[in-house]
Amino acid sequence: MRTLTRPILLFAVLAAAASARAGSPDGLNLVAIAAPSAASYAGALQRFVRHARDSGVQCGEYALNLAILHTVPPAQLTSELALQALHDKAKRKQLGRLLTGFRDKSVERGFDAALAYEVRQGQLRLYGISGASDEQPVVVTLPVAAAARQERFDVAACKAVASLPVLAEP
């Protein structure tokens, strides 16, 4: 019996850690940042948000819990900065400060992350970029033809952001 206790305890700790990264009870505060090449996906992103709130979107081991998704980013959160942050640590820190420091009437504690997206080489590329600069961005690619199907778009967007941590409790 004692040999079974350790694996069960380890499993419980790992399960708790995975669910903690999937969002707080209030969920992730996200901002969507579209590159000009992907502006046509704004409608699909709105439907993704509606699906996530109405029935939830499952993507692998994570269940997405969104609190806020701003689809019109503040002026300082540009697609150029978001895409540069993917490969440049200094830009990622700058983006992180802008994300976590942003406040307005609907965003009282800043953004936890950004969902940046672009179309490049026939692929829709979705990037989950945490406001914590030490977190590596999550990259999900989807052929443009597949991205036209809302279910496929939803799963790809979910995979890009669901594993990102909530940075501050409300």
User: Strand 123-130 relative to strand 138-143: parallel, antiparallel, unpaired?
Assistant: antiparallel
Q: 57-109: per-residue pLDDT in tens?
A: 777 777 788 888 888 899 999 999 999 999 999 999 999 999 999 998 888 88
Q: 149-170: per-residue pLDDT in tens?
A: 999 999 999 999 988 988 865 4
> Does the pLDDT of residue 15 top 80, yes or no?
no
Strand blocks (E) in 8-161: 28-34, 58-59, 62-63, 66-70, 113-120, 123-130, 138-143
What DSSP designation does 169 have?
A: -
Q: 113-140: per-residue pLDDT in tens?
A: 999 999 999 999 999 999 998 999 999 9
